[in-house]
Amino acid sequence: MSWLSGDEDDDEDDRKYSEYDESSVRTRPNPKANKPRSKIRPEHADAIEGRVFSVDRGRYGIWVAEGTPEERQIIAARARELGRNQQGKVSVVTGDWVDLVGDTSGTEGTLARIVRIRERRTLLRRSADDTDAVERIIVANADQMLIVVAAADPEPRPRLVDRYLVAAYDAGIDPILCITKTDLQDPAEFLENFAGLEFRVIASRSDEVPLEQLRALLEGHTTVAVGHSGVGKSTLVNALVPDANRAVGHVNAVTGRGRHTSSSTISYRVGSGWVVDTPGVRSFGLGHIDPGKILSSFTDLALLAEECPRGCTHLPDAPDCAIAEAINAGALGDVGRLRLDSFQRLITTLGSTSV
Ligand SMILES: Nc1nc2c(ncn2[C@@H]2O[C@H](COP(=O)(O)OP(=O)(O)OP(=O)(O)O)[C@@H](O)[C@H]2O)c(=O)[nH]1
Ligand SMILES: [Zn+2]
């Protein structure tokens, strides 16, 4: 865990955390890096690509030619040829890169067709609850998760943050923790819960939103924002996104539909980055998650686990767990114990018995 700050005074903290802070420098500077490439098949060779920013009852709002003079928003529907998979219709979700044919002019009243979904780089999913193995996709191609939690009012719950972390690690998405309402409470004590984890932390208060730091974090990335109701997520997004950038407004003007009635996400453009807000996501079940993937997000622990007995749970009561043995022998220094504790807490979150 590392604090992010524009403040020079924090150099000391940076040094303190630097030994286990490798993930915070794992940035992806190339703004196009989260755009998966795939070969255009011969059919629809004239298709153009675009990125889905809204989903509303079978109509998809799509940005095309982003960052060029031809940049525009268009509305599209699914082409029949998109087909079905075992779960039913192949779904197009916010964040998907798609290939489009038909009228792609973006002129009012026109409709393009989505003929292909490009390979997804990440997929953030949830189940209705922890026992439900049916997964729902929240967003495709996000590479960061902004976990918004209030320092107080509502009282922060470490277990809830754990759940978001599990979902992020499972999806291969970098978590960032944003603590709001720091005017009400010093978040230091709460943050001790995460001392063994590698993620970036940013503090915010509504009278002093750290806009520059946030914009720098979001630039060039697709960031999905999650948080419990009342934590101040809207306040944060409102400060970050002037009304004019709200992509969703344009779609409503074209379709004449009510404001994001049935969509559970709303996307905003911030510089060359995207923020996908999830106000409609009420629960975050983890029934679909594979605990093995959580371990692989802890690369240092995963390496030690190679020596574990088959079927090792890596939990405190696991006999001969090689991770625990190595850490007790000082393998990862002082932070090793904290990391193992955090990892164990996360997999216990899943109620899993085997990793
Ligand atoms: N003291 C303090 N209050 C804040 C801060 N940020 C937001 N609030 C207040 O907290 C309440 C909830 O803020 P919202 O931004 O609506 O929270 P939200 O997470 O979007 O919640 P939902 O709209 O329910 O999803 C509002 O009354 C805000 O004025 C902050 O930094 N400090
Ligand atoms: Zn083990």
pLDDT band at 87 (very low <50, low <70, confident <90, very high): low
> In the predicted model, what is the mean pLDDT of residues 152-180?
91
Q: Say if CB 138 and CB 225 are below 8 A apart.
A: no
Question: Which of the pair, 33 or 147, is modelled with greater confidence?
Answer: 147
Q: How far apart are CA 113 and CA 136, in angstroms?
A: 23
pLDDT band at 23 (very low <50, low <70, confident <90, very high): very low
Highest mean pLDDT among 11-20, 47-56, 154-163, 233-242: 47-56
pLDDT tops 80 at residue 242: no
pLDDT tops 90 at residue 205: yes
Q: Please report, in range form, the residues annotated as the binding site for Zn(2+).
A: 308, 312, 314, 321
What's the mean per-residue pLDDT of the chain?
A: 81
pLDDT tops 90 at residue 292: no
Burial 58-75 (b: 16+ CB within 10 A, else e): ebbbbbbebeeeeebbbb
User: What is the pLDDT, as a whole number, of residue 96?
Assistant: 96
Q: Considering every ligand atom, which ligand is closest to the CA of 301? A: 2
Which protein residues are within 6 Å of ligand 1, measured from CB?
180-181, 183-184, 205-206, 227, 229-235, 279
By the CB criterion, residues less than 5 angstroms from ion ligand 2 are 308, 312, 314, 321, 323
ipTM for the predicted complex? 0.96
| pLDDT digit string, tens, across residues 135-159 | 678 899 999 999 999 999 999 988 8
By C-alpha distance, which of 17, 11, 4 is closest to 338?
17
Query: Which stretches does DSSP call E strand in the chain?
Result: 2-3, 48-56, 59-64, 72-78, 84-85, 88-89, 97-102, 112-117, 123-127, 135-140, 144-150, 174-180, 200-203, 222-227, 266-270, 273-277
User: What is the pLDDT, as a whole number, of residue 33?
Assistant: 53
pLDDT tops 80 at residue 324: yes
**Ligand 1 binding pocket mutation candidate from 155, 164, 185, 235 (most atoms within 8 A of CB):** 235
Ranges of CATH 3.40.50.300 domains, the chain: 2-27+123-277
pLDDT band at 250 (very low <50, low <70, confident <90, very high): very low
pLDDT tops 90 at residue 80: no
Cα 234 to ligand 1 centre (Å) = 7
User: What is the pLDDT, as a whole number, of residue 36?
Assistant: 56
pLDDT tops 80 at residue 5: no
User: What is the pLDDT, as a whole number, of residue 251?
Assistant: 39
Instruction: Kindly give the number of the ligand 1 atom that is closest to the alpha carbon of 153.
Output: 10
User: What is the pLDDT, as a whole number, of residue 241?
Assistant: 85
Q: CATH number of 2-27+123-277: 1.20.120.450, 3.40.50.300, 2.10.260.10, 3.40.50.880?
A: 3.40.50.300
pLDDT tops 70 at residue 41: no
Identify the residue whose C-alpha is closest to ligand 1 atom 13. 232
> In the predicted model, what is the mean pLDDT of residues 281-296?
78
**Ligand 1 binding pocket mutation candidate from 186, 234, 284 (most atoms within 8 A of CB):** 234
User: What is the pLDDT, as a whole number, of residue 76?
Assistant: 96
DSSP structure string for 116-153 = EEPPPS-EEEEESSTT---EEEEEES--EEEEEEESSS
Question: Which of the pair, 159 or 277, is modelled with greater confidence?
Answer: 277
pLDDT tops 50 at residue 21: no
Q: How far apart are CA 313 and CA 26, in angstroms?
A: 29
Cα 205 to ligand 1 centre (Å) = 10
Q: Which fold has domain 48-117?
A: OB fold (Dihydrolipoamide Acetyltransferase, E2P) (2.40.50)
pLDDT band at 193 (very low <50, low <70, confident <90, very high): confident
Q: Please report, in range form, the residues annotated as the binding site.
A: 180-183, 227-235, 308, 312, 314, 321
